[in-house]
Amino acid sequence: MTPTAITNVHLIDGRGGRPEPAATVVVEGGRFAAVGPTASTPIPEGATVIDGSNRWMVPGFVNGNVHLLDAWMFMVGPGTIEYLARWEGRYTEVIEEAAQLVLRNGVTTVFDTYNAVDPVLGARDRINAGTSKGARIFAAGAIIGMGGPFSADFHFAGRKAASQTFVNRIDEMFEAGVGHQLSLLPRNEVRARVRDYLSRGVDMLKIAVSDHIFMSVGLDRSYQTFTRPVLEVIVEEARAAGVPVLSHSLSVEALDSSVELGADVLIHANYTMGQPIPHSLVDKIVAGNSYAELQTIHTEHSKALGEIGSWAAVLGDGAFAENERTLISGGAKIMMGTDAGCPSADHLSDLHPAERHDRPWTLGGDHFHWTQSMVEKGMSPLDAISAATLNVARGYGKDDEIGSVEAGKLADFVLLDSDPLDDIRNLRSITDVFQGGEAVDREALPTVPLVTTHPA
């Protein structure tokens, strides 16, 4: 590959330090070869030179919690059956389409924390092999101890509206032998099932420390899925396999258990079913090695949801938002995660315009929504950029390869024509996206539109 040099660019490298106002970044062999002041950084002979004057460079965004099939579809109910039935047999293609939607807007790596195992691993491998374009995927597949789309954890009502053969087949695909049935088994059998699941080649292990049945019974309860000894067995297997541990928790006690277990990533750490996180627990999170993934709604969207009476408005107000402020002000290590997916046009059409506009769970613009909300909650723009790049990489143990503009790392970066430190919304002002040193043809993505263009 011909070397590329971006000169005189305003560099925000993701590490949280002061921006370099006139930097040169050299890319060679798909990696950053040199990063430094333009005045002292040599440009290789024959390099393609891009004048970065009046432009800003940030690392490629990294999303720490997505579902490249639309998990919010499974959660909210309407559209679940038609979505999963319409695309059955083509889930890998839908996942690739979703990975292309995020790449088009500067997200170069995603961590998919719940999906049908074989399709998401298939898409991951195709993108890694260069057979398909898309954001780099790291995948958890199933959530240990959680049911599939038509279980009580998600859209249980769908079991009465579709054939049992279909809903059982889909649930089995997502559960992959480690679903909610594990809560009934002795710990030795849980260990064997988890070990077998890890052998399928997943990149991380997500554990349902608490259930997800609020979708079936309401927001007024949450139960822990496993006893502490069983949780320890599951974590032991993940550590033996060398993969990060993610926790799903929906209560203060489940979050506390997750921290004590040493989870690398605390998925939606601010979601404690409307209960405030005690400062003592925040201190424990800060003192430990866990990264808190927060899901958030910015003020404008939360207000619009409240005006139309949407239940989702609670996610941008009250204890949910206060927990975000508490974790930010307390110094927790925070990473970006949006829970976003690739929704169907039919489902989006059924939503009120206030729900569709700048929707935080629709892939493509979700990371812009997240960074705007974090700044509103008290995070500096510089810290919000780090939380959306290097912090995610650190939380998952991938910071030797991605997350910042540093020599030796994969050359994932985004060029902007406005300063995001003046206004975090300027992260939307993308002119170019590079992944692994190659310019992304943003207009060509997605290459094979499916969900985004149905019906044609």
3-state secondary structure of 433: strand
The predicted model scores a pTM of 0.97
Assess contact for 167 and 140: CB atoms under 8 A: no
What is the reported pLDDT for 378?
96
Could you tell me if residue 20 is left (phi over 0), alpha (psi between -120 and 50 degrees) or otherwise beta? beta
Q: Where in the chain is the domain with CATH 2.30.40.10?
A: 4-60+404-442
What is the reported pLDDT for 8?
98
C-alpha distance from residue 241 to each of 186, 235, 291 (Å): 21, 10, 20
What is the reported pLDDT for 53?
96
What is the reported pLDDT for 22?
97
What is the reported pLDDT for 123?
98
Question: In which element (H, E) is residue 10 found?
Answer: strand 4-11
DSSP state of 372: H
3-state secondary structure of 44: coil
What is the reported pLDDT for 89?
97
How far is it, in rounded angstroms, from Cα 391 to Cα 290?
11
What is the reported pLDDT for 303?
86
What is the reported pLDDT for 121?
98
User: CA angle, 296 as apex, 291 and 299 as ends, to 5°?
Assistant: 145
Token output for 14: 């993701």
Of 68, 110, 66, whose CA–CA distance to 87 is shortest? Answer: 68
How far is it, in rounded angstroms, from Cα 34 to Cα 23?
10
Q: Which CATH superfamily is domain 61-395 in?
A: Metal-dependent hydrolases (3.20.20.140)
CB atoms within 10 A of CB 455: 6
Burial 182-196 (b: 16+ CB within 10 A, else e): bbeeebeebbebbbe
What is the reported pLDDT for 124?
98
What is the reported pLDDT for 78?
79
| Fold classified for 4-60+404-442 | Urease, subunit C; domain 1 (2.30.40)
What is the reported pLDDT for 311?
73
pLDDT tens readout for residues 260-279: 999 999 999 999 988 999 99
What is the reported pLDDT for 76?
75
Q: Where in the chain is the domain with CATH 3.20.20.140?
A: 61-395
What is the reported pLDDT for 201?
98
Would you give per-residue pLDDT tens digits along the chain (456 residues)? 799 999 999 999 999 999 999 999 999 999 999 999 999 999 999 999 999 999 999 999 999 999 999 987 777 777 899 999 999 999 999 999 999 999 999 999 999 999 999 999 999 999 999 999 999 999 999 999 999 999 999 999 999 999 999 999 999 999 999 999 999 999 999 999 999 999 999 999 999 999 988 767 767 778 899 999 999 999 999 999 999 999 999 999 999 999 999 999 999 999 998 899 999 999 999 999 999 999 999 988 888 888 888 877 777 878 889 999 999 999 999 999 999 999 988 888 888 888 888 899 999 999 999 999 999 999 999 999 999 999 999 999 999 999 999 999 999 999 999 999 999 999 999 999 999 999 999 999 999 999 998 886
What is the reported pLDDT for 346?
87
Is the alpha carbon torsion for 181, 202, 136, 18 positive or negative? positive
What is the reported pLDDT for 172?
97
